[in-house]
Amino acid sequence: MQLISEFLAKLSAERGASPNTLEAYERDLMRYYSFIDTKNITIETAGSDEIRSYLRDLSNHGLAASSRARHLSALRQFYRFLLAESLITEDPAAHIDAPKQQRPLPKLMSVEDVEVLLSRAKLETTTTKNHAQFQAIRLYCLLEVLYATGLRVSELVGLPYAVLNGDDRLFSIKGKGGRERLVPLNEAAKGALMNYIARLDALNQERDDGKALRSKQRQKWLFPSPSKEGHLTRQRFGQDLKALSERAGLNRAKISPHILRHAFASHLLDRGADLRTVQQLLGHADISTTEIYTHVLEERLKTLVGTHHPLANVGKVVKNQC
């Protein structure tokens, strides 16, 4: 669809939207296009009633309120683009209310579980051999850097090799919307990173069969891979992390790269970090996104008080005695 392609090109050129973001917009908008096309309605002639009908159809197919809100957000931006380009005279999505939704609290890992995970990852760097050892060293490096910085998984696996050219205490990250930020590295992350780089260099020196990672990918990416992207994929990292979780005796369903990012933020706030600082480290454009972690801490405090306060169960005891 030409109009959708033009919209995506504008997002890429003017907002620096990532490939993942563009793919999500294209998927949502093409679903909308398919829906109205079955009714013999074009994008330019669709009105508010068609958009409401589309949202109801999404609901009937089991999409959660959050997913329907995402689809509506894509439509709003798309129709604003069409209006600005004078391709329509009225925005049909402008006055449609977003589906009501309760913002879910992020899943978290305890400090103890993170320590168990990192300890297991570090152990495997010395108990494995050959290529399995290189993979273990890479995974340990990824985890230490992720927990030290709170990077988005796409930012982490897509780190350019040039990120090492600056101050070794900091990474300069280009995140969503092309926004740049600095994130500090702790000593554990720096040590794991240097060990990984040394092994990567050694591995490339050993290979002389044309398959070495010291190629264009090796020169461009910090975590090169023969994948289509040229670097380690989010999916592969997620799979490796879940497998490691099982070997560490943890519940793999409760661990992912994104949950480790949540752990980074909540553990900082739990120890007194300023909300604005955490916002900057995470790369959130709006502090309201960061504030969700304060709600998590509030719920945790309520649970702790309810469980351990000496008077917490007095009412229940009195009631039972009556």
What number of residues does the chain have? 322
Question: How many C-beta atoms lie closer than 10 Å to residue 128's C-beta?
Answer: 14
- Cα–Cα distance, 201 to 193 (Å, whole number): 12
Q: Which residues contact 112 (CB under 8 A, 6 or more apart)?
A: none
Active site residues: 152, 176, 258, 261, 284, 293
Place of tokens 């490096």: 141
**Cβ pair 283, 179 in contact under 8 A:** yes
Please give the C-alpha separations between residue 23 and each of 29, 234, 308, in angstroms, as whole numbers: 10, 15, 48
Q: Which residues contact 224 (CB under 8 A, 6 or more apart)?
A: 213, 215, 217, 218, 230, 231, 232
Exposure string of 131-146, with b = 16+ CB inside 10 Å and e = fewer, is eeebebbbbbbbbbbb
Residue 70, token pair as written in the block: 């995402």
Q: Which ranges constitute the DSSP H helices of the chain?
A: 2-15, 19-37, 48-60, 65-84, 111-127, 130-149, 153-157, 187-206, 216-220, 234-247, 257-270, 275-282, 287-290, 292-308, 314-321
**Cβ pair 93, 79 in contact under 8 A:** yes
Dihedral sign for Cα atoms in the order 294, 298, 303, 305: positive
- Cα–Cα distance, 282 to 295 (Å, whole number): 17
